[in-house]
Amino acid sequence: MTAFRRRLRLRQARWREAHGHPIGSQPIVARSRTATRLVGSRLPLAYARETGANFVTAGALAAARARASNPEPHQRFDHKRLWADLLWSPTLAFNLFGDFAANLSLADRAVHTWWPDAPGTVCEIRFAHSPGRFDPTYLGSLRYFDAAFVLDLGDTNGVIALDVKYHEHAKPAIAKPAGRPLQREIARRSGIFARGAIDAADKTDLLVTSLEHLLLLSMLQHESGRWRWGRYVVVHPAGNSGFAAVYGRYTELLTEHSTFAATTIEELLDAGALPPKTRRALRERYIVG
């Protein structure tokens, strides 16, 4: 993973240079009395905000600007990294799915190419989305999805909720004790977890995946009855062996798999669901090997 992450950093630095973009820094915004160093996989923040250079298509940039100017309640949104960090996975989510925000028919064709069993038609795309941060009728936490395709099922909705990884590495996390009773109850009601699975994920690199899956499941169990079908999908580069292993081990905690899936960025691109120009731009920018 160390070698792979170095290759990704080099990929982004070379992409930046090839497109004539200036080099950024750590920290992203220089602070007085703080040492600053140049970072090849970053852009200067003012330049990045003005040009939108971190986004590979006009559709992705428009979706990012719209989302950044319309915060959800209680959200924590790292605007600096969104615009200036070339490795930032939430930016990758906009680059992967941003073209669909203004073209729902294209989005619908893509969703049913990638997940043929998905019901209904795409009626909305949301980014950095939670159905309710701190809302105890959902998961009661700050967890959110990088992107979500909302499906029109007639009298109710479905959702494909996506988590996108790129340069990150899988690492253990510890659950907050206050949230565990609700999390165990959501897991119990779902009927899809092996005995003790939720507690087994705590203090491991499976925890974050389990919490975001539980957020999706909480939508399906919500008292409003709004969500009738859902799937939590994790997306990662084929070379990110750490997350590939995490998702393989996570499926072992499940007794039923229809609400969880893992796929690679390469598989999404190879399916031909994205416009050809967007596919080429994403391959040039993100794919190594």
Which residues, in sequence order, are CB contacts of 35 under 8 Å at separation 6+?
none
For residue 262, what are the β-bridge partners?
Answer: 234
User: What CA–CA distance (Å, rounded) separates 74 from 46?
Assistant: 26
Instruction: State the Cα angle at 189 between 184 and 193, rounded to 5°.
Output: 65
Are residues 166 and 286 in contact, defined by beta-carbon separation less than 8 angstroms? yes
Are residues 255 and 193 in contact, defined by beta-carbon separation less than 8 angstroms? yes
Strand locations in 53-175 (E): 121-129, 145-152, 157-164
> What predicted TM-score, i.e. pTM, was given to this entire model?
0.97
Predicted pLDDT at 53 = 98
Domain tally, the chain: 1
Predicted pLDDT at 33 = 75
Predicted pLDDT at 12 = 98
Predicted pLDDT at 285 = 98
Are residues 201 and 179 in contact, defined by beta-carbon separation less than 8 angstroms? no
Domain range for 264:
2-286
Predicted pLDDT at 35 = 84
Predicted pLDDT at 77 = 85
Helix (H, G, I), strand (E, B) or coil at 278: helix
In this prediction, the residues of the chain whose per-residue pLDDT falls under 50 are none
Cβ density class 77-95: b for 16+ within 10 Å, e for less: eeebbbbbbbbbbbbbbbb
